[in-house]
Amino acid sequence: ETGVTQTPRHLVMGMTNKKSLKCEQHLGHNAMYWYKQSAKKPLELMFVYNFKEQTENNSVPSRFSPECPNSSHLFLHLHTLQPEDSALYLCASSQGTSGGYEQFFGPGTRLTVL
């Protein structure tokens, strides 16, 4: 595996379900990110982790719970979601969190909440 991978690619869940999104980067990067991409809206940053420590939480509701056990893995735990949470969830990684470090993105998980 190379680059940034995300599983599952598609997920349909009910509002009472609990599920988790997984992201793994094989680039040796130190920073990882979760973004949400809704239809007709810009990408929205959700969380930033640098060296496994959360450095930014962009006012995300508590029904989204991130976990970063190491610099290569990032999870997004989902519970009691709402239909408006349906979106493409993108994970990204970068060498660092400042300067000109470009972010490398995974293919995303398309989430549908019924």
Residues of the shown chain interacting with another protein in the complex, contacts defined by CB under 8 A: 33, 35, 40-43, 45, 48, 50, 55-56, 88, 90, 92, 96-100, 102-108, 110
Q: Which is nearer to another protein, 15 or 51 (by Cβ)? A: 51
Q: Which is nearer to another protein, 62 or 98 (by Cβ)? A: 98
Minimum distance, C-beta of residue 80 to another protein, in the bound complex (Å): 25
Q: Which is nearer to another protein, 25 or 50 (by Cβ)? A: 50
Q: What whole-number distance in Å separates Cα of residue 110 and Cα of residue 88?
A: 4
